[in-house]
Amino acid sequence: MSRLSRARAELPHPEVGEIDLLEVLHALSDPTRMKIAATLRETAEQLCGTFAVDVAPSTLSHHFRGLREAGVIRQREDGNRRWTSLRREDLQARFPGLLDQIVDHYEHADPGAFR
Amino acid sequence: MSRLSRARAELPHPEVGEIDLLEVLHALSDPTRMKIAATLRETAEQLCGTFAVDVAPSTLSHHFRGLREAGVIRQREDGNRRWTSLRREDLQARFPGLLDQIVDHYEHADPGAFR
């Protein structure tokens, strides 16, 4: 790993106390972003590029950024790879019960979303 | 009242079963729309134009329309007046617990929103 890549700044994430309810709702109001969040409930951490969503890579990057800036996901870089995880504990601390209720409703209302 | 105004079509509203979770989340992700929903939890029905929100009338009409088309509010016309109410029972039937949890978190996180 080059010195440059080791020194690369971490991606910006809001602190727990900065997570805004309206931004979380907006982040989850898009079908691709909701599907990413629902997928991440089932796994600890997942490589970007391995999500079963049917959008262009640039669009997907845009959605990851929206989720990250809203405080829904955390992303970390590992060499050339980027890992994504749900900020489940942080969201639970900030808005207890909210994330699970929303994603549960989504999965209940749209059971075919993961086909 | 003229025959024309009596015959005026009712405003369109989605049926309960058509209310879409992502559209509800998007409707509630804006501060003005969230404030309207939170205000309507406290009252049965309220006249448009009497909400304590600081936006232009045309912007407010746009927000009411967004809430109505998402299934969050119901609007009815009474002569030249338009009344707005929350579709609380419909939302409860479609997504049990969701609306109250979201609005509760909003009011808890932002206690100054009604000042």
A35 vs A81: CA distance, rounded Å: 21
Quick one: pLDDT at residue B96?
Answer: 96
Name the one residue in this structure whose structure tokens are 């997570």: A19
Q: Provide CB contacts within 8 A for B109, sequence distance 6+.
A: A21, A95
Quick one: pLDDT at residue A113?
Answer: 47
Q: Provide CB contacts within 8 A for A4, sequence distance 6+.
A: none
Strands, sheet with A73-78, edge to edge from the N-terminal-most edge strand: A46-47, A81-86, A73-78
Quick one: pLDDT at residue B1?
Answer: 45
The mean pLDDT of chain B is 88
| Residue B71 DSSP class | T
| Residue B79 DSSP class | T
**pLDDT tens profile A41-94:** 988 898 888 888 889 989 999 999 999 999 999 999 999 899 999 999 999 999
C-alpha dihedral, A65 to B105 to A87 to A55, nearest 10°:
-40
Residue B74's DSSP bridge partners are B85
B49 vs A38: CA distance, rounded Å: 39
**A3 HSE (CA, 13 A, CB side):** 0
Give the burial string for B53-71 (b: 16+ CB within 10 Å, else e): eeeeeeebeebbebbbbbb
More confident site: A103 or A44: A103
Residue by residue, DSSP assigns B24-42 as HHHHHTSHHHHHHHHHHHT
ipTM for the predicted complex comes to 0.87
Residue of B nearest to A107 (CA): B21
**pLDDT tens profile B97-107:** 999 999 999 99
CA B66 to chain centre: 8
The pLDDT confidence band at residue A37, using thresholds 50, 70 and 90, is very high
Measure the CA angle with vertex A114, ends A112 and A115; round to 5°.
70
Least Cα separation, residue B49 to chain A (angstroms): 24
**pLDDT tens profile B59-84:** 999 999 999 999 999 999 998 899 99
Numbered residues of chain A with Cβ closer than 8 Å to any chain B Cβ: 21-23, 25-26, 28-31, 34, 95, 97-98, 101-102, 105-106, 109-110
Q: Provide CB contacts within 8 A for A36, sequence distance 6+.
A: A51, A53, A63, A64, A67, A73, A84
Candidate from B28, B30, B97 with C-beta closest to A101 = B97
Per the CB < 8 Å rule, is A25 touching B22? no
